Amino acid sequence: MHPALGKGNVAVVTGGASGIGLAAARHLAGLGLRVCIADLAGPLLDAAPAALIGAGAAEADVMTMATDVADRTQLTALAEAVDARFGPVNVLMNNAGMQPGSSIFDVEGNWERILEVNLGRVIRGSQIFAPRMIASGAPGMIINTGSKQGITAPPGDPAYNISKAGVKTFTEALQHELRGRPGCQVEARLFIPGFVFTPLTARGRTKKPAGAWTPDQVVDYLFEAIDRGDFYILCPDNDVDRPTDEKRILWAAGDIVANRPPLSRWHPDYGEAFKAWLKK
């Protein structure tokens, strides 16, 4: 087990009141960590402590804090509140996110908020918490939730894709910075879920699609990958296995190397070539 996950250590999970975030918080509580869930105020945040207590956490080892992760002041207040209650943080999971839909000319007016929440919260959360984690001298880990859409960039939701591409690039740079610091015991991981049935992906559905994983399944995979030492935690689901993900990623990178049109996977002149590539 990663040393940051030791019993009695401290974890903060943003976007932790539902979906993947709540499943991760439950998992961490089950390992014996003291856990703070940060999310927007509301019934889901109010109900979250009971889920962690049900996973074996003592009431004294659970805290919640209403936080808008797009607001640096609120993130700073979160860091200070957790330090005052529990002490130095060992695990930070920058997980809060949104996907209301977007178009290239932003007729919905969503771009700024999507970028602030999905990308800005990762940058600000890391910038606020990481120096404190490093200074504590204890083992630490920052888990940033990205997306396959930030790697292969399928058409249809450009703001979300750009935000998640930024998460990938930032987390790579963060890990490079951390591993180059003498004596630093903090490291970063890029969490790349597959199709997971959560409030973010439900889109009006009340029953889990057959192709989707549950939040608990993807969180189990996350911590198994952490135990293996993976940085890129690329998760399969019931529709897409690891070899298919690898081929899609390689094809996307090949657009540059082969000088194909951008997003050639969806280009009418390259559709058959991509299908043949998948069958190899």
Active site residues: 160
- Which helix (H) or strand (E) segment holds residue 103: the answer is none
Q: Which residue type, as a one-letter code, is found at position 176? A: H
Do residues 33 and 4 lie in contact, with contact meaning Cβ atoms separated by under 8 Å?
no
DSSP of 33-100? -EEEEEE-SSHHHHHHHHHHHHTT--GGGEEEEE--TT-HHHHHHHHHHHHHHH-S-SEEEE------
Q: What is the DSSP letter of 256?
A: H
Q: Which phi-psi region, left, alpha or beta, contains residue 183 (left: φ > 0; alpha: ψ -120 to 50)?
A: left
Per-residue HEC secondary structure of 120-150 comes to HHHHHHHHHHHHHHHHHCCCEEEEEECCCHH
User: How many residues does the structure list for the chain?
Assistant: 280
Contacts of 43 (CB under 8 A, 6+ apart): none
Enter the tokens of residue 145. 């939730």
Alpha-carbon span 40 to 236, nearest angstrom: 29
3-state SS, residue 188: strand
Alpha-carbon span 122 to 163, nearest angstrom: 10
